[in-house]
Amino acid sequence: MDFFVPHYHFSRRITLISLMFLMGASGATFTLINKCDYTVWPGILANAGSSRLDTTGFELQPGGSRSFGAPNGWSGRFWGRTLCSFHPNTGQGSCVTGDCGSNQVQCNGAGATPPATLAEFTIGSGTQDFYDVSLVDGYNLPMVVDAGGGSGSCGSTGCVSDLNQKCPNELRVGERAACKSACEAFRSPEYCCSGAYASPATCKPSVYSEIFKSACPKSYSYAYDDATSTFTCSGADYTITFCPTTAR
């Protein structure tokens, strides 16, 4: 589209074109909301080939929210770190769950140390978005993803239940701070869907993944749990809510 703008409106034209570019480049807006009654430190990791968002980690007080724009084609994940402690002067510190090992509030390109509840996204470029909430790397806090303003099925997904209270003793981290996956706990190919079990035909739900699936039926409970766990939408913005029912 060609705009005719007099020469003396050149600066206004640049602003208009810049706004149009930003609107066209933004594939989705992510809004993170903390409804927990404790502070959460969200972490953000862009997949290889995707640009970094405005931050890779920050502090989110109870009741707080923060939004980020992501361009078309972006893919990556969000998670919540809990029980964190960062030095007020140096900024150095760590988290009991979901820590990314950066020794800082910013994760700087590092992912979550299991166990951690993950929200995963691939934003389509004029096509469908794909998103899910995964417990394949374990669970540390309730999380729900809602799609708004899009077209298609656009269902809500996530895990409302507090799995830390239902976690089997052999998967438990600390005083119910998090719940490991069976893969993380036992390092066995049958639980990790690796080696001879690295296909949908050979890797089946385990007694442990079924505990996760029963509590959180819309979330990934093991690597090949695709049929009931992957969601699609087109042209949506996404809200990621920690502790959607203010569960501890």
Give a yes or no: residue 88 inside a domain. yes
Distance CA 216, CA 218 (A): 6
Q: Tens digits of per-residue pLDDT, 141-197?
A: 999 999 999 999 999 999 999 999 999 999 999 999 999 999 999 999 999 999 999
Positions of E strands within 135-247: 143-148, 157-159, 172-173, 178-179, 231-233, 237-242
Residue at 92 is within a domain:
yes
Residue 109 in any domain: the answer is: yes
**Residue 40 forms part of a structural domain:** yes
Domain presence at residue 11? no
| Averaged pLDDT for residues 100-123 | 97
How many domains is the chain built from?
A: 1
Give dist(CA 242, CA 145) in Å, integer. 9
CATH number at residue 154: 2.60.110.10
Q: Is residue 2 scored above 90 in pLDDT?
A: no
Cα–Cα distance for residue pair 248/245, rounded to 1 Å: 9
Its pTM stands at 0.87
Which pLDDT does position 26 carry in this prediction?
A: 57
Cis before residue 115, ω within 30 degrees of 0?
yes
Please compute the mean of the pLDDT values over residues 40-44 and round it to a whole number.
Answer: 98
Q: Is residue 122 part of a domain?
A: yes
Which residues form the domain of 81?
27-242
Judge whether 247 lies within some domain: no
